[in-house]
């Protein structure tokens, strides 16, 4: 079955501006097995998005191309244990087809459509709960969808923050649309130790924006070459955080799953979101 899946997705179009591989582009069977395992459904998290919590704000967690998995459930529970007491939901943007992670990764047209769907989901919450903060946390492919979705929001309906964990986008991806619709910061957590899925993996199978290179979740984002003064103000909201050995004590080994360890999320990501929820002045949001 796995070999059949690989053969059906053996060749992808070549991207621009990144390293190219003239040979057959395919995911390795071990990588496919990992993603299939992670696609096993788990327990629900409905208790984290009850009405009382939604009244205090919302954090939307976007899974990677594997869909709902222990990785993104760990993010949600780590946020809760870290004192983020607003609504927390895992939003599944992926296809329901078994083994559909290949579609989630490679179908750019579908991903643009899903990003629009996520964007509308965020807007519906903002309109139902005006003046509440919205934060988006994405892992891997979900981090890419997070930027695409936020970049489509009306400028008068910004999110408060976006946290990218091992994002599967090319380093040259244009962050300006998302930065313009983020009130506080976009945090990019990247690691040179993510040397399988965001190294050879994205060189061979491509990033969500269909480039064939090391991903920004491994090497960080690049600044645009044609930056204007306005662009510089936008990019001042980008915070890039590279993995370091001190994070080992929090269970984050710098690998692709390290950013999702519940202890790391609880002690490193949750405090930043919690402090914004507690300390920031309530925004005035007008939705149209």
Which residue(s) pair with 188 in the sheet?
164, 240
Say if residues 5 and 102 touch (Cβ distance below 8 Å).
Answer: yes
Say which residues have a Cβ less than 8 Å from residue 169's Cβ, sequence separation at least 6.
Answer: 143, 144, 147, 207, 208, 209, 215, 216, 217
- Strand-pairing partners, residue 89, are 60
**Percent of the chain whose pLDDT exceeds 90:** 77
> What is the H or E stretch that residue 81 is in?
helix 70-81
For 128, other C-beta atoms within 10 Å of its C-beta total 11
pTM comes to 0.83
Tell me what the mean pLDDT of segment 104-133 comes to: 96
Task: Please state, in angstroms and rounded to a whole number, the distance separating the CA atoms of residues 283 and 43.
Answer: 34
The pLDDT-based confidence of 23 (bands split at 50, 70, 90) is: very low
3-state secondary structure of 219: helix
Kindly indicate the confidence band of residue 99, based on its pLDDT and cuts at 50, 70 and 90. Answer: confident
Mean pLDDT of 204-225: 97
Helix, strand, or coil (residue 193) = coil
> Residue 50: is its pLDDT beyond 60?
yes
Residue 164, strand partner residues: 138, 188
Mean pLDDT of the region 93-110: 91
- Could you tell me the pLDDT band of residue 152, with boundaries at 50, 70 and 90? very high
Q: In the predicted model, is pLDDT for residue 30 greater than 80? A: no
136 compared with 38, residue with greater pLDDT: 136
Q: Residue 195 above 50 pLDDT?
A: yes
In the predicted structure, residue 191 carries a pLDDT above the cut 90: yes
Residue 278, pLDDT score:
79
> Does the pLDDT of residue 167 top 80, yes or no?
yes
Q: For 71-91, what is each residue's pLDDT tens digit?
A: 999 999 999 999 999 999 999
Q: Which residues of 141-175 are buried (b: 16+ CB within 10 A; e: fewer)?
A: bbbbbbbbbbbbbeeebbbbbbbbbbbbbbbbbeb
Confidence of residue 40 (pLDDT cuts 50, 70, 90): very low
Domains contained in the chain, CATH given: 49-278 (3.40.50.1820)
Q: What is the mean pLDDT of the chain?
A: 86
pLDDT tens string 228-268: 999 999 999 999 999 999 999 999 999 999 999 999 999 99
Between vectors from CA 105 to CA 273 and to CA 171, what angle results, nearest 5°? 60
HSE, side-chain direction, 13 A CA sphere, residue 7: 4
Residue whose pair of structure tokens reads 């690049």 in the numeric block: 222
pLDDT at site 29: 52
């Amino acid at each position: 079955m796995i070999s059949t899946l690989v053969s059906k997705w053996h060749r992808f179009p070549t991207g621009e501006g990144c390293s190219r591989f003239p040979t057959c582009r395919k995911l390795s069977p071990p990588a496919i097995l990992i993603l299939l395992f992670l696609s096993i459904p788990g327990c629900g998290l409905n208790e984290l998005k009850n009405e009382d919590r939604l009244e205090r704000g919302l954090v939307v967690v976007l899974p990677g191309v594997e869909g709902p998995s222990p990785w993104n459930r760990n993010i949600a529970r780590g946020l809760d244990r870290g004192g983020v007491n607003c609504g927390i939901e895992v939003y599944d943007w992926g296809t329901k087809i078994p083994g559909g992670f290949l579609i989630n990764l490679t179908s750019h047209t579908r991903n643009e459509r899903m990003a629009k769907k996520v964007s509308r989901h965020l807007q519906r919450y903002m309109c139902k709960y005006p003046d509440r903060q919205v934060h988006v946390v994405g892992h891997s492919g979900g981090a890419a969808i997070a930027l695409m979705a936020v970049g489509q929001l009306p400028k008068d309906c910004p999110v408060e923050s976006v946290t990218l964990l091992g994002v599967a986008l090319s380093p040259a991806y244009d962050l300006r649309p998302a930065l313009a619709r983020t009130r506080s910061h976009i945090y990019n957590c990247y690691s040179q130790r993510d040397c399988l899925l965001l190294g050879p993996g994205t060189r061979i199978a491509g990033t969500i924006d269909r480039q064939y290179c090391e991903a920004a979740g491994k090497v960080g984002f690049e600044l645009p070459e044609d930056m204007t003064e306005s662009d510089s103000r936008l990019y001042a909201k980008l915070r890039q955080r590279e993995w370091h050995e001190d994070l080992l004590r929090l269970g984050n080994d710098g690998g692709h799953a390290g950013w999702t360890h519940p202890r790391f999320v609880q002690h490193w990501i949750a405090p930043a979101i919690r402090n914004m929820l507690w300390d920031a002045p309530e925004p005035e949001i007008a939705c149209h």
